[in-house]
Amino acid sequence: MLVKGIITDITRITAHMNSPRRWHGWGNSTTAYPSEPLPAGVNWEQWMDTVAQPHPYSKKLHPAEWRSWFDHGSGCFGDWGPHILDTSHRFLKLGLPEKITAAYRDGVNNSDLIYPDSSTIKFDFPERGAGMPACEVTWYDGVNNKPQLEAEYSEPVTNKETGEVTHGPTTLNSTGKVPGSYTHLRAHETKAKLVFRLLLEKKKKKQNNTKKTKNNKTQEKTSSK
């Protein structure tokens, strides 16, 4: 991808995961670790060796719910960020960021125990050499905290009176599905498949725009008769 010069000088990456998470609905109101009887056969003391401060057993912590808690997990970004961003991080040789900014948080747990319901995190990576300028990676999570697509990636809108085709900013409606063609590096996608997909999407978008323009002109001729 980079060697062939098809995609170069990437300065910004946007990633998102907007499905509900395990702690949504109870996380922001929790004030302490709940406690429940320990099931037989569970070596809780050994499991607690992974953290500095032991906590009581509960189904809100184990199994799988540990993702929700500061002391045990890393929130939505820790769960899904590695899968969604690993391709771009590896191909672009991003390394470590110079700066990390919590740009937005909603549904915050005031006891500092559980991750927010929604968050936007910005990572600023420095220049890494020729063809690899400084890059800003922005991460969005939370059901309603969705990134907005720039005009060039949105569906065209045709003015019925003038026939003029324009584009406007569009908010993503669901994870992994966007209107029109969107250049998105998917998790575990090979270089060859990525390049093929981008070229195919570009071709389809051009064909669709051409078809819509022809249909609009046909409608205008019909209306004028």
- Of 212, 121, 205, give the one whose Cα is nearest residue 160: 212
Q: Using alpha carbons only, what angle is made at residue 138 by residues 133 and 140, rounded to the nearest 5 degrees?
A: 165
Q: How far apart are CA 141 and CA 104, in angstroms?
A: 10
3-state secondary structure of 173: coil
Contact partners, residue 201, CB within 8 Å, separation at least 6: 181, 182, 183
Residue 12 CB-half CA count within 13 A:
5
Q: How far is CA 124 from CA 31, 74, 76, 86, 115, in A?
A: 33, 19, 19, 16, 22
* pLDDT for 207: 79
Instruction: Give the Å distances, CA to CA, from 23 to 26, 28, 44, 63, 159.
Output: 6, 8, 22, 13, 45
Q: Quote the pLDDT of residue 123.
A: 97
* DSSP code at position 67: G
Cis before 63 (ω within 30): yes
Q: Dmax over Cα atoms in the chain, in whole Å?
A: 84
* pLDDT at site 77: 95
Cβ–Cβ < 8 Å for 111, 30: yes
Each of the 225 residues of the chain gets a pLDDT tens digit; together they read 555 666 778 899 999 999 999 999 999 999 999 999 999 999 999 999 988 899 999 999 999 999 999 999 999 999 999 989 988 898 889 999 999 999 999 999 999 999 999 999 999 999 998 888 999 999 999 999 998 877 666 677 788 888 887 766 666 654 443 333 334 444 445 556 666 666 777 777 777 777 777 776 666 666 665
Predicted confidence at residue 130, as pLDDT, reads: 84
Q: Are strands 12-17 and 170-171 parallel, antiparallel or unpaired?
A: unpaired
Is the Cα dihedral 138, 143, 144, 150 positive or negative?
Answer: positive
The Cα 186–Cα 196 span in angstroms is: 13
Q: Which residues of 33-62 are buried (b: 16+ CB within 10 A; e: fewer)?
A: beeeeeeeeeeeeeebeeeeeebebeebbb
**pTM score over 0.75:** no
Q: Which residues contact 50 (CB under 8 A, 6 or more apart)?
A: 72
pLDDT of the residue at 217: 66
Q: For residue 60, give every residue at least 6 positions away whose Cβ sits within 8 Å of its Cβ, in sequence order, or none.
A: 26, 30, 33, 34, 68
pLDDT in the model for residue 197:
67
